[in-house]
A and B are shown apart, each in its own frame.
Chain A
């Protein structure tokens, strides 16, 4: 019998929070009948509003699933509910395999046998290569022009005074940067545009807004200047290109030397941007002590990859994107999956964490945040923060503060999180029985 999932893994599978809520609501025995489990198959029938119950089946080893309901969500609430029931230990091994499950299983098996190895991609012709080179050159020219416009615009703003910033100006500029194929800059401008003006004392163009805006303008100015430099070291040039929005083909990343380790999932955060959902998963190499950031993308309403479950671990090869600090990575071959991980966390205080943060800022001044581990005690009063044994402290931010305090009780514990200019945002803590993601 395979290892039973934890409910958090089901939550991670939900395409959106509404589906998750609906799935939890159905995760009671009332509407279910003919449920059963024979590893890896899990099945059941859920009574909906119609007269015929929906047939549901899931293969928990992959996972993959099927439901006879007409929902466009994938997985639908019925699949999620069945998985919740199983994860909570309310469905045991046994039961008669339903016809629907048997058919689905047989169809998949047949499809698997029919699969033949994909042909190697055809070599590109010379004409195609020339076309690609011309397109790349054209893009670089557009980026150069776009960043030159950005540079002039920033200087104009500083000359005229930020207090006179026209509402909507940042949004307009972001749209022009999209046209200039500088999506990284466009995203930063949109983020800045969302910040409330005069948030500290009510006056427009003052206080936190002014400080943050000038800081961001300075960093954008630095980025556009860096683009014009031809003498940058290769790593820094790659960093600049990634912040501008140039993507690196997966094949290029997978051609680098992988880093093998058992990687603990120390944090996960989902966000939605227009039509795309993004999942950011932080990993920590339990042997190498390296951090990694794995990004997953999906169209809104579609499920995000749920293979990396908070609190679990994977023994796998990771391929890091170019640029410094090497953080973003792709997961290669997975040798093993561990439901819970327990490992020795290096002893590090606040000073070490901040020093590491400064080192990576020196390599990448545009970086938003960087993972850190701090052996410290969390507290709320008089100021929310983490204090270490050496007397160092850092402000604690984010929504997991109360949970961290409840779990640690103010005792010393190794805490994982993200360090950014606002402070330390905890994402996980190592407890006696393993890593707990907040």
Chain B
């Protein structure tokens, strides 16, 4: 009699009539009169006790062919102090840093430094590091031979979350057989390697594809558009789906030599005239000409509607779209003034706000010169930040209200240039911290260049206990982050060829 057959009888119950045929083998253990249910129950419990002990003494084995042992590691471990800080960060222990987002940032930066220093994680941290799939991209470069072996073990056992035979995201088969999300993901990735072939793949299925799918495809094309896409995009200005038409116009407006841009530029030229103002006695006395801008709103017609300037839009919306479609560098030849001058010229009433359109065009064409000139002319639009020089960013920071400083800072790639870090840091320690949004402290602690992080940590420590609970909390958090970052920098600096190695690659706050 096996333990399983005993379990089956006990599940039904020895007192149940249906169990009687199965009870025969129990007599091997203890003969019992079949008419005494309690005696049968005791016999079963006796047998269960005996077999339970046998069962307990037979732990399961683990047969099967295993992988060969791990090869030796050639890269060294980081210094002990770095390891003692990495441990809690990898284990998501609060450790020295309170906020989990701060911990994630500092950990990613530290792992990058360890990789740049040619080091690897110590073996005792590998289990924790690999247990967190969210860290995989940061951890993979510092796994070393032992970590790579451990990862292969996890995958072999099907314990790595991702199945070993998961679909390759670059497999062209996905375009034909994948889900909508897989097809879109493949399309976006493939556009960066072979845009023409990928566009043709889209053309082949265009007619039968639903509007939402076509809109997504056109959006992907717009962000990677080349002149070879022009004909396809031009055709799709007539698509039945508005999302596709908007995407096509967006794509074409990024091509300075396209027919679409030429049409829009011509409309812009006829809509705007820069002339001399007739009024102003003082100016006449000084014999100085004063220019002004006259704007004639675009009247919608069939051709302009096809180009995205339809009657459904207000006059201002049409004008904004029109200006956004004109490359900023084209304005001097159109109206004799630069884009930055255009937005500051006086206008007759009603005045039209040209800034949104010019900023959009500047961003579309990545025109850094215009972006800097716009800021110099007083435009305060945080979207321009990625195109701005450090000097222009400082100008912008000095003009925007304190509550909007965070929206500027969050667009500056990390680590910040030292001048910007100094400006923000001085504002924080100079008492401005109360006016700034709390996240400025967080951004500052993360974005200060590593080589000066220790110095800033000392300065923040020197503030003691400022008034206001929120400021005190933010100060304490920022100081902790700076201290931990500076420890990583100090400890790993000797193994790096230059401070340049310590710059993180354009991370966002």
Contact = CB atoms under 8 A, between A and B. Distances in A.
B49 A221 contact: yes
A2 interface: no
Contacts of B6: 214
A354 B58 CA distance: 8
Given A30-B483, A361-B56, A393 B63 contact: yes
A199 B60 CA distance: 19
Contact of A159 (B14, B95, B147): B14
B55 interface: yes
B96 interface: yes
B204 interface: no
Interface string A12-30: 0000000001101101111
A380 B15 contact: no
Contacts of A155: 38, 41-42, 45
Interface in A344-381: 350, 354, 357-358, 361, 365, 377, 379-381
B37 interface: yes
A406 B123 contact: yes
Contacts of A393: 61-63
A434 interface: no
B476 A387 contact: no
Given A25-B95, A211-B4, A361-B56, A221 B10 contact: no
Nearest to A406: B126
Interface stretch (B151-159, B219-227, B331-339): B151-159
A436 interface: yes
Interface string A140-177: 00000000000000111011111110000000000000
A423 B60 contact: yes
Interface residues on B, range: 35 or more
Contact of A215 (B56, B88, B126, B127): B56
Interface string B129-143: 011000000000000
B67 interface: yes
Interface string B73-84: 000000011001
A24 B484 CA distance: 13
A210 B6 CA distance: 10
B404 interface: no
A47 B465 contact: yes
B62 A394 contact: yes
Contact of A210 (B11, B59, B80): B11
A73 interface: no
A357 B13 CA distance: 32
B70 A411 contact: yes
B177 interface: no
Contacts of B46: 218, 221-222
Nearest to B45: A221
Contacts of B147: 406
A92 to B, nearest CB: 14
B157 A160 contact: no
B16 interface: yes
Interface in A187-245: 205-206, 210-211, 214-219, 221-222
> Which residue of B6, B16, B48, B97 has the most chain A CB atoms within 10 A of its CB atom?
B48
B53 interface: yes
30 contacts: A22-B94, A28-B483, A88-B81, A155-B42, A155-B45, A158-B13, A159-B41, A161-B12, A163-B12, A205-B11, A206-B11, A219-B49, A361-B57, A377-B69, A379-B67, A382-B65, A384-B62, A387-B62, A393-B61, A393-B62, A394-B62, A402-B154, A403-B124, A405-B153, A406-B123, A406-B127, A410-B67, A411-B70, A419-B59, A422-B59
Interface of A: 7, 21-22, 24-25, 27-31, 47, 51, 88-89, 154-156, 158-164, 205-206, 210-211, 214-219, 221-222, 350, 354, 357-358, 361, 365, 377, 379-387, 392-396, 402-403, 405-407, 409-411, 419-424, 436
